[in-house]
Amino acid sequence: MTTLDAREHTVLTTIVDQYIAEATPVGSRSVARISGLALSPASIRNTMADLTDTGYLDQPHTSAGRVPTAKAFRYYLDTVLRQPVLAEDDRRLIEDHLGSAGLELTDILRQASRLLSSFSRQVSMVLAPAKDDVRWRHIDFALVSPGLVMAVLVLEGGLVQNRLVEAEPGLTQDDLTTFGNYLNHHYTGRTLGEVRANLVRELDGARRRLKGMYRRALRLARDAFASDLERDFFFDGTVNLPGQPEFADLGNMRELLHLLEERTRLLELLDRTMEGGRIKVSLGRETKLDVGPDYGFIASPYGGGEHSRGVVGIIGPLRMDYARVVPLVDYTARMLSQVLSKRF
């Protein structure tokens, strides 16, 4: 990245601050008035021209002011906002809302997503822990009607899965209780991935080794949860898009909405953050999302113990208030980590 002198630094940061606040191109007269440099608009224009030549600014129209590029925002984040801090009132609100979300982890993660979108006025995303890595705690079966059973699996950390499963019409509630006792005896404390692999092996040899009752228990568990690999993924805030000046162009809005519908690309981006183990801000082409240069993505992993288990993030226009959004994402992730550290 090109090294900026003191005047260029001040001009650029003034333009970035103004563009974040006003969402319109910034002119030399405005910079001269508020930068504190005591320079004429003509001198400011010369500096702005240099910054345009080096890729920090763009000029949408010949007679218009300048707008900062992704390169400018990267410089701003790396040199001006190295360690932004979230306001005490915001920290307290996050703690209160997450603390009142309930006991189920799914409800807590859903609340975190709502909080992020509400506080940032952008689109938020929360990726839940991978179920294959979570440990089995307890399973219960309840007879709903002849041939229809509700399976309730409680996993480590308060994750709960419910599923209706077709079963033999002759099964009784006593049979189902026996099934649950058998499965809990064998699988409590093992990861769901280990359980899934073991179910396949056990069923392959069940004809020879197991009584009919236990074969039926294994089949019921397999049908209920063996193929449930998809991670829970929450996002909120699409209602905020029309209020952003960048999305007055319907093409830009359609582009982002289309991206949000493509779960695979977003999960890849979130997974990259989890592998990094720390908060990450990707700007423009750095996101590798192929949706144009005018987006920013802030994400942070959260987890219990030594390993990251999920990710919280915000995506929005390049012109975001990073001084507020970056510490907001970071603090929310830390609060979720505290929740999980008590459960995993």
CA distances from 343 to 92, 104, 166, 229, 306 (A): 22, 11, 32, 21, 13
Place of tokens 């940061």: 13
**Residue 222 DSSP one-character state:** I
Predicted confidence (pLDDT) at residue 334 exceeds the cutoff of 80: yes
Please report the pLDDT score of residue 285 as a whole number: 81
Order of strands across the sheet that contains 123-127: 233-236, 123-127, 310-317, 295-302, 280-283
- Cα 264 from Cα 262, distance rounded (Å): 6
Q: What is the pLDDT of residues 143-188, one digit of tens each?
A: 999 989 999 988 876 778 888 888 888 888 998 999 999 899 989 9
Overall average pLDDT of the 109-125 stretch: 92
With CA atoms as reference, report the closest residue to 238 among 252, 256, 226, 255.
256
With CA atoms as reference, report the closest residue to 313 among 334, 298, 323.
298
Overall average pLDDT of the 258-285 stretch: 79
Which residues contact residue 39 at a Cβ distance below 8 angstroms, ignoring those fewer than 6 apart?
A: 7, 32
Domains and CATH numbers, the chain: 6-79 (1.10.10.10), 88-129+231-341 (3.30.450.40), 132-226 (3.30.390.60)
Predicted confidence (pLDDT) at residue 264 exceeds the cutoff of 80: no
**Residue 27 DSSP one-character state:** P
φ and ψ of 71, to 5 deg: -65, -40
Q: How confident is the model at residue 30 (pLDDT cuts 50, 70, 90)?
A: very high
Predicted confidence (pLDDT) at residue 206 exceeds the cutoff of 60: no
**Looking at per-residue confidence, does 237 or 104 come out higher?**
237
Per the CB < 8 A criterion, the answer to whether 165 and 151 are in contact is yes
Per the CB < 8 A criterion, the answer to whether 116 and 328 are in contact is yes
With CA atoms as reference, report the closest residue to 11 among 61, 74, 59, 76.
76
Helix axes 6-22, 41-53, angle to 10 degrees: 90
Per the CB < 8 A criterion, the answer to whether 192 and 136 are in contact is yes
Task: Give percent above pLDDT 90 in the chain.
Answer: 37
Please report the pLDDT score of residue 63 as a whole number: 67
Q: How confident is the model at residue 332 (pLDDT cuts 50, 70, 90)?
A: very high
Predicted confidence (pLDDT) at residue 317 exceeds the cutoff of 80: yes
CA distances from 177 to 135, 149, 174, 186, 340 (A): 21, 12, 5, 14, 30
**Burial readout 28-57 (b: 16 or more C-beta within 10 A, e: otherwise):** bebbbeebebebeeeebbebbebbeeeebb
| pTM reported for the whole predicted model | 0.77
Which of 41-50, 92-101, 235-244 has the highest average model confidence (pLDDT)?
41-50
DSSP string across 118-140: HHHSSEEEEEPPPGGGSBEEEEE
Predicted confidence (pLDDT) at residue 296 exceeds the cutoff of 80: yes
Overall average pLDDT of the 77-87 stretch: 85
Please report the pLDDT score of residue 220 as a whole number: 84
- Cα 288 from Cα 323, distance rounded (Å): 23
Which residues contact residue 176 at a Cβ distance below 8 angstroms, ignoring those fewer than 6 apart?
A: 141, 142, 143, 149
Q: How many CB atoms lie within 10 A of CB 135?
A: 18
Q: How confident is the model at residue 241 (pLDDT cuts 50, 70, 90)?
A: confident
